[in-house]
């Protein structure tokens, strides 16, 4: 397994749109930070008809021992009463508080965080992955199972094939379109996932990491395992 670079540049999602254009063609890597040893996956589940919010974080060691053989280094769960209803576009306010509490239970911070949801592929360019990244001050990326906004074509049939997710610029003025994410075929014969930069990493880098963390399932390991822990599918199915 090759060691992939984590940072293309340091930027916050709010600045991403302006910087993307300015840095196009001359991406600097001087801001690369720590090497990646720990990758975290985050997801939120609900219990008791949504009354209880259940946040789960699973930390995996990088690189994996073998093909898709990731070692679970640590994991944490935090439960609390649900405060906010689900409102498309405002998911952060419902999930981020619980996710942060779960992170506080970890003994060590990961170098990269994969979140179940959108990064900057959001109407205001601030999806859960971006929002969480800002609060954690860690590089994050979003992997969503469905589209929130933007348009796209059908990605190729092979694993790794992807199509750009484009949307009109925030504010709706100027020359219009911008790439906010990618529709990635993470597995053959399955509906694609929506990958986007969350915080402090580019779309290209986000795609590299997602593909690098794919097992033989649709979702990358960090997110897949966090998903299981959040919805208790691990103990439920037994």
Q: Is 116 annotated as a binding residue?
A: yes
Closer to DNA by CB, 119 or 139: give it.
119
Closest by CA position to 72, among listed 215, 190, 187: 215
Q: Is 167 annotated as a binding residue?
A: no
Q: Is 128 in the site for DNA (CB under 7 A)?
A: yes
Rounded alpha-carbon distances, angstroms, from residue 155 to 39, 122, 124, 205: 26, 20, 25, 18
DSSP label of 138: S
Closer to DNA by CB, 23 or 166: give it.
166
Which of 57, 59, 136, 148 contacts DNA by CB under 7 A?
A: 148
Rounded alpha-carbon distances, angstroms, from residue 173 to 69, 89, 120, 165, 169: 47, 21, 18, 19, 7
Closer to DNA by CB, 131 or 200: give it.
131
Closer to DNA by CB, 36 or 201: give it.
201
Q: Is 178 in the site for DNA (CB under 7 A)?
A: no
Which of 146, 157, 172, 173 contacts DNA by CB under 7 A?
A: 146
- Spatial contact of 165 and 152, defined as CB atoms under 8 Å apart: yes
Closer to DNA by CB, 62 or 194: give it.
194
Which of 1, 34, 35, 50 contacts DNA by CB under 7 A?
A: 50
Rounded alpha-carbon distances, angstroms, from residue 4 to 1, 200, 212, 218: 9, 15, 9, 21
Q: Minimum distance between the CB of residue 56 and DNA, rounded to whole angstroms?
A: 10
Which of 44, 55, 138, 180 contacts DNA by CB under 7 A?
A: 44
DSSP 3-state of 162: strand
Which of 75, 118, 186, 202 contacts DNA by CB under 7 A?
A: 118
Stretch that binds DNA, among 24-32, 101-109, 127-135, 172-180 (CB under 7 A): 127-135
Q: Would strands 140-144 and 112-116 be described as parallel, antiparallel, or unpaired?
A: parallel
Rounded Cα–Cα distance for residues 218 and 213 (Å): 11
Closer to DNA by CB, 78 or 122: give it.
122
Rounded Cα–Cα distance for residues 234 and 212 (Å): 24
Q: Is 41 in the site for DNA (CB under 7 A)?
A: no
177: number of CA atoms within 13 Å, CB side?
8
Annotated binding site for Mg(2+): 43, 116
**What residue ranges bind DNA (CB under 7 A)?**
43-46, 50, 86, 88-92, 116-118, 122, 127-129, 142, 144-149, 227, 230-231
């Amino acid at each position: 397994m090759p060691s992939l670079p984590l940072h293309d540049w340091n930027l916050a999602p709010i600045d991403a749109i302006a910087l993307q254009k300015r840095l196009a063609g001359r991406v600097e890597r001087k801001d690369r930070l720590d090497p990646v040893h720990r990758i975290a996956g985050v997801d939120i589940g609900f219990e008791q008809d949504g009354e209880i919010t259940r946040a789960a974080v699973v930390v995996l060691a990088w690189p994996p021992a073998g093909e898709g053989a990731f070692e679970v280094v640590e994991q944490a769960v935090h439960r609390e009463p649900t405060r906010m209803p689900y409102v498309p576009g405002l998911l952060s306010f419902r999930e981020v508080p619980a996710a942060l509490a779960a992170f506080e239970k970890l003994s060590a911070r990961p170098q990269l965080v994969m979140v179940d949801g959108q990064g900057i592929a959001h109407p205001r360019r601030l999806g859960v992955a971006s929002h969480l990244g800002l609060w954690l001050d860690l590089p994050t990326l979003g992997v969503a199972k469905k589209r929130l906004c933007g348009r796209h074509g059908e990605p190729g049939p092979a694993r790794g094939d992807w199509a750009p997710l484009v949307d009109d610029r925030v504010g709706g003025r100027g020359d219009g379109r911008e790439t906010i994410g990618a529709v990635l075929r993470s597995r053959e014969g399955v509906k694609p996932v929506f990958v986007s930069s969350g915080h402090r990493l580019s779309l290209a880098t986000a795609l590299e990491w997602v593909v690098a963390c794919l097992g033989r399932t649709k979702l990358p390991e960090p997110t897949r395992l966090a998903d299981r822990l959040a919805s208790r599918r691990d103990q439920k199915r037994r």
